[in-house]
Structure 1
Amino acid sequence: MTSKILNIAFLSDTRVDEPRNPNGTASSDLFLNLFESLLPPQTIINPTKFNVVKSRLPSDEELSSLDALIISGGFEDDAYSDHPWVFALGEFILRVSKEFPKIKIVGICFGMQLIGKVFGGDAGKNPAGLECGTVTMDLTELGKELLGSDLGDASNVNRMILRELHWDMVTAIPPAFQLLASSDLTPVQSMVRFYKEGSQEDLKLEDRVHIIGFQGHLDCSPLHHRES
């Protein structure tokens, strides 16, 4: 069987070269472990890493061969701040979505908040305050269909459990995006934008995803947050 190669760029938004969990594992490696567990056999991930705080972004030549971008969570600046690197990253994401539409975009925590902001929604402080720890969230009907089999709680298909640490959130979902999950403290826990209707109708639902965001940290414990 011929192997399929997926080229994925990991955009890190910290001033260190790469964020690591308490065990010393790099965030990008945790994401890769998660994706490898979800992808079909014979799929090989080819990762590249960019520190966007240091203005390191993929070139057009690199973008031409990419399959996906992952914008990580971080604690440097708010997604709604006016810091130059945040603005540059937001403009970059918008341009990639228009000029390189085959690239799927995944936003985690800060990444989803920035997506919410730049695509016409909004992001800001969560009036409920800090949401920290293992969070149970309700999946919408679309969320059950799209996420339930892979990321849903094994004991209850109506919900998803992720680890979280955030004060900010998406306060308004952008046009053309749809809600996938919410929690008691954070109404927008996950959202998705599909490719335009008519261009992807023959594909499976997951293959129609263009942009998806999660407030929770998939990289903290890939699939270990599912209850048995």
Structure 2
Amino acid sequence: MGGKRFAVLLCAEDSDYVKKIYGGYFGVFVKMLAEEGETWDMYRVAGGDFPDEEEIGDYDGFVITGSCSDAHGNDVWICELLSLLKKLDSMKKKVLGICFGHQILSRALGGKIGRNTSGWDIGVTTVHLSSSSKLFTSLKMPALLPVIECHRDEVWELPPKAEVIGWSDKTGVEMFKYGDHIMGIQGHPEYTKDILLHLIGRLLQRNFIVGAFADEAKARVEKHEPDREAWKKLCISFLKG
């Protein structure tokens, strides 16, 4: 693995808490995915910081993070990100999209995304993994894998040639693969319960959710455990395989 280069395309603003405890969301992803001898860079794409044309080729893979923005929006940076993702697809670069990243990848490749009709999904959700996916069978993944979730948007319709490889009772497309180089995950393999509980507080503060819902979400988080090690193995294997 030595010498490989990866870039995190940061689509969210770091909260002071996540900066202080985890070194920002970049730090959270690096802790989950980075291995010895690799170089990891960050581009704050939500702030207009994108890799140059000549830099793109230097990377072995890209990770797109979650965001408070809507992947179906048309902010300038979102439109620029869509162009970059189409370019990465044409170059067959490895791209892993998480939450917002999962949705924006689907949109860039021709899928449809929007609000989840059943509202927010916040807590620990059990994802059903497709038994036909070679990625799962080679890693001996269990059929059910719990993951932390925090989203109210979803993939409505997959891009042509994309394959659903994970689903849940609430969300039809929890995971998809596009060729061997692109994978989207609706959940947050990188989150700790602590990060999620902090985020629930922020959503409440900003009036995205109401108090009773926040209390229910916190109770659900306390009751269930995500399988963070299995998700880590899965993400590393895809990104570096």
Alignment size in residue pairs: 198
- After the TM superposition, which parts of structure 1 deviate over 6 Å for at least 4 consecutive aligned residues? none
Q: Is 2:120 the partner of 1:130?
A: yes
Given that residues 15 and 24 in structure 2 are in contact (C-alpha distance below 8 angstroms), is that contact kept between their aligned partners in structure 1?
A: no
Distance 2:41 2:66 in 1: 17
**TM-score (norm: length of structure 1):** 0.78
Query: 1:198 is matched with which residue?
Result: none
How far does residue 127 in structure 1 lie from its aligned partner after superposition?
0.6
More strand, by proportion: 1
How far does residue 82 in structure 1 lie from its aligned partner after superposition?
1.4
Flag structure 1 segments of 5+ consecutive residues without an equivalent: 195-208
Query: 2:63 is matched with which residue?
Result: 70
Q: Is 2:100 the partner of 1:110?
A: yes
AA aligned to 1:53 is A
Q: Is 2:132 the partner of 1:142?
A: yes
Cα pair distance change 1:227/1:168, threshold 3 Å: closer
SS of the equivalent of 2:9 reads strand
1:27-86 C-alpha deviation (Å, 9 max, x unpaired): 2222223224xx7xxx522101001112111112211210001110011x2001111111
SS of the equivalent of 1:20 reads helix
1:89 aligned to which of 66, 72, 81: 81
**TM-score (norm: length of structure 2):** 0.74
Distance 1:105 1:119 in 2: 12
Q: Is 2:226 the partner of 1:225?
A: yes
Q: Is 2:202 the partner of 1:210?
A: no
Computed over aligned residues only, the root mean square deviation of the Cα atoms, in angstroms, reads 2.7
Query: 1:59 is matched with which residue?
Result: 52
Percent identical residues: 24
Residue correspondence of structure 1 range 175-194 to structure 2 within 5 A: 175-194=160-179
More helix, by proportion: 2
Cα pair distance change 1:127/1:19, threshold 3 Å: farther
1:115-144 C-alpha deviation (Å, 9 max, x unpaired): 11121111000011110111111111234x
2:25 aligned to which of 18, 24, 27: 27
